[in-house]
Amino acid sequence: MKYQTVIGLEIHAELCTESKVFCSCKNGFGFSPNTNCCPVCTGLPGALPVLNSKVYEYAIKAGLSMGSKISKYSVFERKNYFYPDLPKAYQISQLEYPLCIGGHIELELNGVTKIIRLNRIHVEEDAGKLIHSENKGSLIDFNRCSVPLIEMVTEPDLRSAQEAVALLEKIRQILVYLGISTGKMEQGAMRCDVNVSLMPEGSSVYGTRTELKNISSFRSVFAGIEYEVKRQTDILEKGGKVIQETRRWSDEKMQSFAMRNKEESQSYRYFPDPDLLPITVTPEYVQSIMAKLPRLPEQRIKQYVTEYNLPIYDATLIASERETAEYFEDCLALYNKPKEISNFIMSDILRLIKGQNQSLKNIPVNPKKLTDLLKMVSDGKVNVTVAKTVLEEIWKTDEDPEKAVVRMGLMQVNDMAEIEKIVREIIAQNPQAVEEFKAGKSKALAFFVGQIMKATKGKANPQIVNELVIKLINI
């Protein structure tokens, strides 16, 4: 029998607020263990949580960007369970009244658009971190306790490992764009639980699902799903039954292992946290957040292609990161030549910034300088090759492009007489190439242009050089 894979994801993303969700401890990555904790986040008796309003603002941004309805009324509940990295023995989360309800993400895969529905987005706190060491036993770092999380729960709309990874990439891009999460999976800022089940092709009744817990890389999500599909197919084909359970994925062994039977929400004995009031969100507040939302990649790509005539490749690349898109748009406001700007951003700016750990916001070649340089190209003051050299120079020196061009003696030579003199010299020195050119070898023209550009240190106007070579050889 042929089976259809059915996948739903529960995606956790850490929000990058300054402080934690219920106390004023610093929220960040890479601090010495147990240096960012207090009585509240370590659950000492009598300590009381206070909601960080930034967390709600960030979560509403996520909800609005994913088409969710923002609840006017939401409630924090205690999810009770014991784990060594959870000193309170409960996690503050949301169950009955989550902040965001519904929503959807559009996926573009192999030229087909697919809508993946969201069930909800709720706010909760992270647990601490257990570090298992061979000689010191297991150690606990409480820094991560009460780091704010949003959990995005999808409907079981995904049908392959490829779709699941594409959805995660899309969500990651949105969160980073909004500036509400670092999206750094290698630092644990995004993790997900993957629910996988199989049903006979053509059926609409879902099979029994298993849940792969806490996976923290795209690669593992992909491998985990592929493995689980194969494992469940083998069971079903042998006439067996898939057991509903939670499984652990091992990257080393590339296998999943049974952890425990899947618990239902009642096992956690959820109840409203008596220390936290229900939250009321007014439509005006939601509106004020909506007004601050940045335009997302999809909208930008559409505009770049339809209004600015950029090729889809350029548009997608420029819009993929918010800083690149904003840099591009700032340039465009100063110089209305989209393709010239995107060419320089893609081939030069992104190359120069690569590996420098710099932000496009504070690179030495700001939009004003880049567009001044591009204007020099269109005014015939430098050619494109020289402009690239100048760009690298002013990246280092922080000069104005025009000053740098003058200082480097690279102003383009447009003087016909001056160029003609050099062209004549080069032609005289290369009789064999002249013969080849006359015999119709197009390579010979490129040779001449190359020689002349070399003799003028790249300063000659290439168009004039081309015309002159053809004219003077054919005399």
Residues that bind Zn ion (CB under 5 A): 23, 25, 38, 40-41
Q: What b-and-e string marks burial along 451-461, b requiring 16 or more CB atoms within 10 Å of the CB?
A: bbbeebebbbb
Least distance in angstroms from the C-beta of 325 to Zn ion: 36
Least distance in angstroms from the C-beta of 148 to Zn ion: 12
The nearer residue to Zn ion, 50 or 446, going by C-beta atoms, is: 50
Q: What does DSSP assign to residue 249?
A: E
Least distance in angstroms from the C-beta of 58 to Zn ion: 18
Least distance in angstroms from the C-beta of 269 to Zn ion: 25
Tokens 């949003």 correspond to what residue?
150
Least distance in angstroms from the C-beta of 56 to Zn ion: 18
* C-alpha gyration radius of the chain: 30
The nearer residue to Zn ion, 38 or 281, going by C-beta atoms, is: 38
- Give CA–CA dist 223/249, Å, rounded: 9
The nearer residue to Zn ion, 37 or 349, going by C-beta atoms, is: 37
What are phi and psi for residue 347, nearest 5 degrees? -90, -25
The nearer residue to Zn ion, 26 or 72, going by C-beta atoms, is: 26
Q: Which residues contact 34 (CB under 8 A, 6 or more apart)?
A: 140, 141, 142, 143
- Give CA–CA dist 149/125, Å, rounded: 6
Least distance in angstroms from the C-beta of 48 to Zn ion: 12
Q: Which residues contact 166 (CB under 8 A, 6 or more apart)?
A: 107, 109
Query: Are 100 and 71 contacting, i.e. CB atoms less than 8 angstroms apart?
Result: yes
Q: Which residues contact 467 (CB under 8 A, 6 or more apart)?
A: none
The nearer residue to Zn ion, 41 or 152, going by C-beta atoms, is: 41
| CA geometry: angle 185, 66, 205, nearest 5 deg | 90
Least distance in angstroms from the C-beta of 145 to Zn ion: 7
The nearer residue to Zn ion, 19 or 68, going by C-beta atoms, is: 19
Report CA torsion sign: 107, 155, 206, 212: positive
The nearer residue to Zn ion, 41 or 194, going by C-beta atoms, is: 41
* Dihedral, 299, 302, 306, 312 alpha carbons, nearest 10: 150
Closest CA to 402 of 421, 423, 387, 422: 387
Q: What does DSSP assign to residue 21?
A: S
Least distance in angstroms from the C-beta of 142 to Zn ion: 9
The nearer residue to Zn ion, 24 or 397, going by C-beta atoms, is: 24
